[in-house]
Amino acid sequence: MSQNGLLVIGYGNPLRGDDGVGQQVAEALWAQRSSAPELAGATIKWAHQLAPEMALDISRASMVVFIDAASDGRPAGSVSVRPLGGSHDQAGLPRSGGASCWEDMGPESLLALASALYGWSPTAVLVTISIRDFALGFGLSRAAERAVPVAASAVLSAVSQKLGRSCALAGAGYTSSAAQSAGAPGGA
């Protein structure tokens, strides 16, 4: 099977405050795609949630980066990068028989689905931005806005490491928010 390179998926609900930060990071990367060599040929998508139909695109990628908000107790705006397991089998698929359908699908489940259906699951990382505001409403808090460029840099760094290149991170690194605020780039 021929893999098509990098796939970036930023997800979360922009109508729930900071939950939409994953989409904002994906949009920021979209805006940088012509100036960042790490993004050459990349497919960058943003969505409200992960969906089973994404498994086909995942099975065609050599690397996938998932970007999401996290309510993990760390300071708001903290960014972390976590490699996802290398072997994805049906154990990661959602169980049938009940109210839980595909709406709670996480990156590991989607990787397992790609492997089960298409026989391939790429190298994957999860970039999370710690948030506190899931309230109804549009727009990000200041902490989440400041984390957007830090998370975008974290994505570029993770991709560079996979490609064997080094990429310096701007700002204080993965564990604190950046001092600058990112605008909302366009494009879909």
- Tally the C-alpha atoms within 13 A of residue 5's C-alpha that lie toward its C-beta: 9
Element counts in the chain: helices (H) and strands (E): 4, 5
- Distance CA(80)–CA(186), nearest Å, equals 25
| pLDDT surpassing 60 at residue 176 | no
* pLDDT grade for 103, boundaries at 50, 70 and 90: low
> Phi then psi for 108, rounded to 5 degrees?
-60, -40
| pLDDT surpassing 70 at residue 56 | yes
| Residue-level pLDDT at 169 | 37
Q: What percent of the chain has pLDDT over 70?
A: 74
Contacts with 168 (C-beta within 8 Å, 6 or more apart), sequence order: none
> 115 or 99: which carries more pLDDT confidence?
115
Q: Encode pLDDT of 13-54 as tens digits.
A: 999 999 999 999 999 999 999 999 999 899 999 999 999 999
| Residue-level pLDDT at 134 | 85
Residue 11: its H or E element: strand 6-11
* pLDDT grade for 164, boundaries at 50, 70 and 90: low
Q: Encode pLDDT of 88-102 as tens digits.
A: 444 444 444 443 455
> 56 or 89: which carries more pLDDT confidence?
56
SS3 16: strand
Which domains are present in the chain? 6-163 (3.40.50.1450)
Please give the full DSSP string across 61-93, using - where no structure is assigned: -SEEEEEEEE-SSSPTT-EEEEEPPS---GGGS
* pLDDT grade for 86, boundaries at 50, 70 and 90: low
pTM value? Answer: 0.81
Compute the mean pLDDT over every residue in the chain, rounded to the nearest whole number: 81
- Tally the C-alpha atoms within 13 A of residue 10's C-alpha that lie toward its C-beta: 24
| Residue-level pLDDT at 12 | 95
- Distance CA(142)–CA(147), nearest Å, equals 9
> Phi then psi for 39, rounded to 5 degrees?
-100, 5
- Tally the C-alpha atoms within 13 A of residue 180's C-alpha that lie toward its C-beta: 9
